[in-house]
Amino acid sequence: MTETGTGSGTVTDTVADAFIEVDRVEKVFDVRRRTGFLKRERRQVRAVDALSFTVARGEMVGYIGPNGAGKSTTIKMLTGILTPSGGRLRVAGIDPARERTRLAHRIGVVFGQRTTLWWDLPLIDSYRLAHRMYRIPDARYREILDRLVELLDLGALLDVPVRQLSLGQRMRGDIAAALLHDPEVLYLDEPTIGLDVVSKARVREFLRGLRDERGTTVLLTTHDLQDIEQLCSRVMVIDHGRLMYDGPLAGLHEAGESERTLVLDLERELPPVDAPPPARVVRVEGPRQWLAFPASASAAPLVARLAAEYPLVDLSVREPDIEAVIARMYEERASA
Ligand SMILES: Nc1ncnc2c1ncn2[C@@H]1O[C@H](COP(=O)(O)OP(=O)(O)OP(=O)(O)O)[C@@H](O)[C@H]1O
Ligand SMILES: [Mg+2]
């Protein structure tokens, strides 16, 4: 990857439109653990390992993976909070760790698990602080604040101390705080965590608007695959610090041999039904049982056989959902 031209104002020869560039990036943590009296063990955790990807301007990319995969570590490196142990990072042509403050004016970050708002102060005070901190021109600040207040429905909340806000209200407040300085890039680390269905829908709708109307580049980390399904056409899957998949969401369905699910409603609670392999019962809840079977196989013989042997009230077939496909990818990797 080549450097951008400096001084002349022209950009020479970069990857077309690559706005976020991650090139063989590593992050190794030194962890010291007490193993006994005066005894400590030093261990290294490779949280991110030879990670490479680029994100184009205006793209909204999902970034998913199991707990401890390295998602938050990646985002922290992209904001400059953490310095990579190796490799090369650029966001809007800026090296985040070296020019964190300059980059801060171009990016917004929301960490769903930790608020950036002032806990004891009314919401509006956090925004006023951001106004000054980012030196946003007054008229611009007004305009952006008004728009965010409207879109995120914050009007009635501005004078409420943050600690009194519900989780969903607080999250909307956090998202507005991250966008007041009109950043070109937004990192969202679990923006819907812990939210109820209505709040989730609201946040998603807002993000959709941001993507469609502002062309903001968004990297979205989440454990809720519906976030991805509804917002991102591209998804990156990370596990053990390594990129396992990068492509369209639809491709995840084909990754690995997918399974379909047959949902049986029995007349009464019964032990798991006896299904011909590879079909198998994966879940039992009262009189309802879930069976997984290969997506390539027809459901008809399986249904016929079960109907002959068990008191069925109802049944339905579900197509593979990405949650199941991803769980499978993880399983396969763990057992490889
Ligand atoms: N400051 C740190 N010091 C030591 N180890 C760390 C530190 N931060 C993260 N790690 C380790 O690095 C690995 C990746 O952590 P990270 O927080 O990036 O995962 P994640 O994908 O965000 O997980 P989650 O889904 O749980 O949020 C984990 O093994 C974690 O324990
Ligand atoms: Mg995390």
Where among 213, 238, 254 does a domain terminate?
Answer: 254
- How many Å lie between the centroid of ligand 1 and the Cα of residue 190? 14
Residues 268 and 245 in one domain: no
pLDDT at site 52 = 95
pLDDT at site 254 = 64
Residues 159 and 288 in one domain: no
Where among 254, 270, 294 does a domain terminate?
Answer: 254
Ion ligand 2 — residues with CB under 5 Å? 71-72
- How many Å lie between the centroid of ligand 2 and the Cα of residue 76? 10
Minimal-distance CA residue to ligand 1 atom 28: 68
Instruction: Report the first-to-last Cα separation within the chain, whole angstroms.
Output: 32
Q: Is the pLDDT of residue 136 over 90?
A: yes
Residues 194 and 312 in one domain: no
Residues 114 and 140 in one domain: yes
- How many Å lie between the centroid of ligand 2 and the Cα of residue 66? 9
Q: In whole angstroms, what is the distance from residue 319 CA to residue 322 CA?
A: 10
> Percentage of the chain with pLDDT > 90?
56
Give domain status of residue 293, yes or no: yes
Q: What is the mean pLDDT of residues 225-237?
A: 88
Residues 190 and 117 in one domain: yes
Ligand 1 first shell, C-beta below 6 A: 29, 31, 45, 47, 65, 67-73
The closest alpha carbon to 109, from 89, 82, 146, belongs to 82
- How many Å lie between the centroid of ligand 2 and the Cα of residue 158? 29
Give domain status of residue 107, yes or no: yes
3-class SS at 26? strand
Residues 70 and 99 in one domain: yes
Residue 282 to residues 273, 326, 332: CA-CA distances in angstroms?
10, 16, 17
Q: Are strands 280-285 and 185-189 parallel, antiparallel or unpaired?
A: unpaired
Residues 271 and 307 in one domain: yes
Average pLDDT of the chain, as a whole number: 87
Give domain status of residue 146, yes or no: yes
16 against 198, higher pLDDT = 198
Give domain status of residue 52, yes or no: no
- How many Å lie between the centroid of ligand 2 and the Cα of residue 290? 31
Mutate which of 22, 28, 29 for ligand 1 pocket (most atoms within 8 A of beta carbon): 29
Minimal-distance CA residue to ligand 1 atom 8: 73
The sign of the dihedral angle between the CA atoms of 332, 229, 113, 47 is positive
Q: Which residues contact 4 (CB under 8 A, 6 or more apart)?
A: 11, 12, 14, 93
3-class SS at 317? strand
Mutate which of 72, 81, 111, 190 for ligand 1 pocket (most atoms within 8 A of beta carbon): 72
3-state helix, strand, coil in the chain (%, to 5): 35, 30, 35
- What residue numbers bound the domain in which 265 lies? 259-319
Residues 247 and 117 in one domain: yes
Residues 152 and 211 in one domain: yes
Residues 160 and 223 in one domain: yes
Residues 169 and 224 in one domain: yes
The closest alpha carbon to 47, from 65, 74, 23, 22, belongs to 74
The sheet that has 107-111: what strands, in order across it?
107-111, 185-189, 217-221, 60-64, 234-239, 242-248
Phi, psi of 145 (to 5 degrees): -60, -45
Q: What is the mean pLDDT of residues 56-67?
A: 90
Number of compact structural domains in the chain = 2
Q: In whole angstroms, what is the distance from residue 199 CA to residue 39 CA?
A: 48
Give domain status of residue 120, yes or no: yes
pTM for the model: 0.75
Nearest-ligand number for the alpha carbon of 76: 1
Where among 254, 277, 299 does a domain terminate?
Answer: 254
Minimal-distance CA residue to ligand 1 atom 29: 68
Q: 138-151 and 167-179 are packed helices; what angle lies between their axes, rounded to 10 degrees?
A: 150
pLDDT at site 277 = 86
Residues 230 and 271 in one domain: no
pLDDT at site 155 = 95
Give domain status of residue 328, yes or no: no
Give domain status of residue 28, yes or no: no
pLDDT in tens, 139-162: 999 999 999 999 899 999 999 999
Q: Is the pLDDT of residue 91 over 80?
A: yes
Cis preceding linkage at 278, omega within 30 = yes
- How many Å lie between the centroid of ligand 2 and the Cα of residue 117? 19
pLDDT in tens, 17-35: 789 999 999 999 998 887 7
- How many Å lie between the centroid of ligand 1 and the Cα of residue 69? 7
Mutate which of 25, 42, 71 for ligand 1 pocket (most atoms within 8 A of beta carbon): 71
Residue 163 to residues 81, 123, 166, 173: CA-CA distances in angstroms?
25, 9, 8, 12
Mutate which of 28, 30, 32, 45 for ligand 1 pocket (most atoms within 8 A of beta carbon): 45
Q: In whole angstroms, what is the distance from residue 1 CA to residue 87 CA?
A: 12
294 against 47, higher pLDDT = 47
Q: Which atom of ligand 1 is nearest to the CA of 73?
A: 18
Give domain status of residue 114, yes or no: yes
CATH of the domain at 135: 3.40.50.300
